[in-house]
A and B are shown apart, each in its own frame.
Chain A
Amino acid sequence: MIANYGYKDGSGEYYISIDTDKCIDCPVGRACLTGCPKGMFETMTDDYDDEVVQIKQSFRRNLAYDCADCKPSSNRPPLPCVVACTPAAIKHSW
């Protein structure tokens, strides 16, 4: 399942997508949990009883601001969460 967390507003679309099929048997021990400097990720048991990662509720409506530190306007480095997730389950829309 691809779970999209975030929102669209007048300034753009801010979604983090997590492909939970790639996330269920994480080979890197949920490195995203510690990879994100703001600790935005957490584990949960989904509706089909699989343990996967999700974005914490408190961050879902503020992604444009909460992710801003990792996204400078120039010379943008690779995103820590994306780097940490070697199965490539995490994608950002912006």
Chain B
Amino acid sequence: MSEQLNTSDKKPEFWRWQENCWADESKDWRSAKAITVGIDVGSVSSQCVVVADGELFAYNSMRTGNNSPDSAKNAFKGVTEKTGLTLNDVHMVVGTGYGRVNVPFSHKAITEIACHARGANYMGGNKVRTILDMGGQDCKAIHCDDKGKVTNFLMNDKCAAGTGRGMEVISDLMQIPIAELGPRSFEVDQEPEAVSSVCVVFAKSEALGLLKAGYTKNKVIAAYCQAMAERVVSLLERIGVEEGFFITGGIAKNPGVVKRIEKLLGIKAMDTKIDSQIAGALGAALFANTLVQKQGPLAPIVA
């Protein structure tokens, strides 16, 4: 018999993922010659990354609010509170992501495609060649060279299928915390067929239909993870996949999707100890660091 959905008045937010703020406590930013900041304002999440002398020093990853400037400010504020760093201490700020032109204190805006490649190059090393960025509301396949420079890219921003938002919808529908979806997708007797629809809206109704037909929640999640994997693999196959495969974005934390992508491609994704969600902001901060080396520091822009 299928599991019953919770119908109580209190509505927990199962989709709400863990926000993170981190700083390298073994380092003191005051001794750094160049401090640069990357701000990635995405459609679902926003990140601020601080790079000190070309090395990751601190970051804050949080949910995007209802306007881009405030999201950028809040992301930076988290780092400020954690490290004591202020805008006056920063030599350059680069904005990226969907809201990159609305970062009020950025000196330059660079596309998230270039920034993810640069960030992945830092996180995975110079062997990274193919990057899959599974963002909140779009998905990008990127090829880069050994320096993290983009050589080919493809973006799907027309549909939310295969994105973080799609996974949030399923999390809420199944009433299972989003962090548990991946592990639970493997707790099935037999791997189910992928849900047939590529559309989040139709996948939702199809998932409900499967529950009514007697599928367990775990089996429905497995079917959805498989559909998501198939969706992004078709995007990747269009530009081709080379060894040195790296996944960025929030979905990289979902083993249910990552393992299925690896299985479909026959390639294992590279591991990293750094939060995959900060790749864009990290790339932006690294671009800023390069610009500081070339042009010198810039005065802060007061928002």
List CB contacts (< 8 Å) of B19-62 with chain A: none
Q: Which residue of A lies closest to B108 (CB)?
A: A47
Tell me if B153 and A3 are in contact (CB < 8 A).
yes
Q: Which of B81-89, B233-241, B246-254, B261-269 lies at the binding interface?
A: B233-241
Residues of A close to B158: CB separation below 8 A: 7, 9, 61
Q: Are A15 and B150 in contact (CB under 8 A)?
A: no
Asked if B111 and A7 make an inter-chain contact with CB atoms under 8 angstroms apart, the answer reads no
Q: A4-B238, A8-B235 are in contact. Are A15 and B154 (CB under 8 A)?
A: yes
* CB contact list, A1-54 vs B, under 8 A: 1-4, 7-10, 13, 15, 47-48
Instruction: Check A1 against B152 for contact (C-beta < 8 Å).
Output: yes
Secondary structure at chain A's binding surface: helix, strand, loop or mixed? strand
A47 touches B198 (CB 8 A): no
Separation of A47 and B148 alpha carbons in the complex (Å): 12
Contact with A along B123-164 (1 / 0, CB 8 A): 000000000000000000000000001111111111100000
* Interface assignment of B195: CB less than 8 Å from any CB of chain A: no
B residues less than 8 Å from A48 (CB atoms): 114, 149
Query: Per DSSP, are chain B's interface residues mostly helix, strand or loop, or mixed?
Result: mixed
CB distance from A51 to the nearest CB of B (A): 15
User: CB-CB < 8 A to B114: which residues of A?
Assistant: 47-48
Min Cβ gap B39→A in Å is: 16
- Interface size band for B: 20 to 34
Contact check, B234 vs A2: say whether CB atoms are below 8 A apart.
no
Does B167 sit within 8 A of A, measured CB to CB? no
Closest residue of chain A to B287, judged by CB? A47
Cβ contact within 8 Å between B156 and A8: yes
A8, A10, A15, A47: the one contacting B110 at CB < 8 Å is A47
Report the Cα distance A8→B139, complex, angstroms.
Answer: 12
Which of chain A's residues 31-86 have a Cβ closer than 8 Å to chain B? 47-48, 61
What mask results when residues 217 to 252 of chain B are scored 1 for a CB within 8 Å of chain A, else 0? 000000000000000001100110000000000000
Contact (A1, B153) CB under 8 Å given A8-B234, A15-B238: yes
- Interface residue from B111, B154, B159, B287 paired with A4 (Cβ < 8 Å): B154
A3 closest partner in B (C-beta): B153
Min CB distance A89 to B, Å, is: 13
Q: Which 7 A-B pairs have the closest CB atoms?
A: A47-B114, A7-B158, A2-B152, A4-B154, A47-B110, A61-B158, A1-B150
Instruction: List 22 contacting pairs A-B, 8 Å CB cutoff, sorted by A.
Output: A1-B149, A1-B150, A1-B153, A2-B151, A2-B152, A2-B153, A2-B239, A3-B152, A3-B153, A4-B238, A7-B156, A7-B159, A8-B156, A8-B234, A9-B158, A13-B238, A15-B154, A15-B238, A47-B113, A47-B287, A48-B149, A61-B158
Task: Apart from A3-B152, A9-B159, A48-B114, list 4 A-B contacts with CB within 8 A.
Answer: A2-B239, A3-B153, A8-B234, A8-B235
